[in-house]
Amino acid sequence: MGMYCQVQNTELIFYSSRSRSFLLNVNGMTTIINPAAYGNSSFSFQRCITCGMQNNLMREEPLSDIDFAKDVLFLESEAIKNLINRLDHDFQKAVDLIFTCKGRVVVTGIGKAGIVGQKISATLASTGTPSYWIHSSEARHGDLGRIVADDIVLALSNSGETEVVTLLPFVKQIGAKVIAVTGNNKSSLARHSDVVLNIGKIEEPCHLGLAPSASSTVMLALGDALALTIFKKRDLGKEDYAFYHPGGELGRKLLTVEMVMRKNEENPIAGEDVPLLDVLTIMTETAGKPGAVSIVDKENKLVGFFTDGDLRRHLQNGISVLHCSVKEVMTQSPKVIHAHCLVAEAYKILKDHKIDQIPVVDDSNKPIGIIDVQDLLEVGF
């Protein structure tokens, strides 16, 4: 139930009887006050609210939909804040177990906890920790075969007494370690787990106090904290993150040339003294037909580049060009790019210079690949 009042020039936006906290508006500034956090202090806002209540200056009214929604968000944010002080040596144990895990992190749960578990598993996998999710009930009908001794089972259950518990004897027999995320550290799940991450008893914002919301939000936040802490501990860079997100917008921006370039048998190379007709044969027979070939000297260093476009331009002067060597018609000192550069840089070069291909070279200026505009289209550029 919410309340409204005007006490000593302070507007009480609403009072949450569930959290026993106040949302105040003082001179246009919104402030959250929880008197329990201040004990017997002489905090002025507390005195203001206490005075108002003693003088019956508050008029109790039903919360509007907007105010109730604010109450929900307030309670959920408070639940996450309370989780901060719960992170202790058990959280560190969980981090160390997962970081050194030689298998995969198998996340399981039922109901809302199961859905949250899917998100946690996805976050782990996308940040460098191999993980998958299994349904706690389906696991008893064959999916337990996915779990091996080197795995870690991350089991989620607020009560600690759901179907997740029935998996524990079998998981223990397999030899996998169990990390529990629960709100009841005396539950069956907690008692039979190797590490317990206790989120504590959490009051649900639901007007009936039943629908899982704050508890599932806290589980999700804890899962993020766990996954991202391990991600940081692995010391992976942007390129590593992009490797796991090749289809996403961020992954696309972080793709390197090495990830998309044509190489080995798809990277045509010819010596500068090779006849043009032979070079055309190389271009035609190369897998993927990139329509270009890198030209090298006797030390296999890049000295030129020849493309389909070059051929068409030279043929305008007659077919006699076909009988010369490629070094007579190649583009000398062509634009190049290195394998470690971003694909976005390659795209800019192609666009700015209105070309369709660009050779990729190493630090010795030896061609190790080729980027074709079609390759960039395939990855979203």
What's this model's pTM, rounded to 2 decimal places?
0.59
CA distance 335 to 352: 11
pLDDT digits (tens, 9 = 90+) for 286-339: 888 888 999 999 999 999 999 988 888 888 888 777 888 898 889 998 999 999
Please list the residues that pair with 155 across neighbouring strands: 108, 180
Domains of the chain, each with CATH number or no CATH: 2-63 (no CATH), 89-236 (3.40.50.10490), 257-378 (3.10.580.10)
Q: pLDDT higher for 378 or 199?
A: 199
Within its chain, how far is the Cα of 149 from the centroid?
27
Q: Is the confidence at residue 251, as pLDDT, over 60?
A: yes
Residue pair 200/216 in contact by the 8 Å Cβ criterion: no
For residues 125 and 202, give the distance between their C-alpha atoms in angstroms, rounded to a whole number: 28
- Cα distance between the two ends of the chain: 53
Q: Determine the pLDDT at residue 87.
A: 96
Q: Per residue in 96-141, pLDDT tens? A: 999 999 999 999 999 999 999 999 999 999 898 999 999 988 878 8
Q: What gap in Å lies between CA 303 and CA 292, rounded to an integer?
A: 14
Give 357-370 pLDDT, tens digit per residue: 999 999 999 999 99
- What was the pLDDT predicted at 16? 55
User: In angstroms, what CA-CA distances link 18 with 70, 201, 213, 352?
Assistant: 13, 14, 15, 62
Cα separation, 110 vs 298, in Å, equals 66
**CA 270, CA 276: separation in Å to the nearest integer?**
10
Tokens describing residue 342: 């971003």
CA distance 70 to 81: 16
Q: Let me know how long the chain is.
A: 381
Q: What is the pLDDT of residue 155?
A: 97
What is the per-residue pLDDT for 249? 67
pLDDT in tens, 184-221: 999 999 999 999 999 999 989 888 888 889 999 999 99
> Contact at 8 Å (CB) between 369 and 343?
no
Closest to 118 measured CA to CA, from 128, 129, 132, 104: 132
Average pLDDT over residues 253-258: 83
Quote the tokens at residue 377.
């289209």
